[in-house]
Amino acid sequence: MCGANLSDADKNILVQALSDFKVRLANAAASPTTLASFDSIAQDTVTLLQTTMSSAGFENLQAHVRTQKKFMKRVPYPAQ
């Protein structure tokens, strides 16, 4: 996340949240599920980041994700 300009504390929160996201996604993929449950996992992760990262850190992350959207084929993060 070199382009997101995050503090060490925010980086640690992000790494843990992404690790948890990966596990939850793998568990959901291994069982019968719907697209809604994948969306729920993504939204839960965004909410966790928003409530645990510093305000500036989350804003920087959000800005970084928005700039990276142009390289994505499917955008998993809501435009704002």
The answer as to whether 61 is a domain residue is yes
The answer as to whether 13 is a domain residue is no
| Tokens 């948890």, located at residue | 20
The answer as to whether 14 is a domain residue is no
Between 30 and 51, where is the model more confident? Answer: 51
Enter the pTM of the model.
0.78
The answer as to whether 20 is a domain residue is no
Our count of domains for the chain comes to 1
How confident is the prediction for the chain on average, in pLDDT? 86
pLDDT in tens, 6-19: 999 999 999 999 99
The answer as to whether 42 is a domain residue is yes
The answer as to whether 44 is a domain residue is yes
HEC profile of the chain = CCCCCCCHHHHHHHHHHHHHHHHHHHHHHCCCCCHHHHHHHHHHHHHHHHHHCCHHHHHHHHHHHHHHHHHCCCCCCCCC
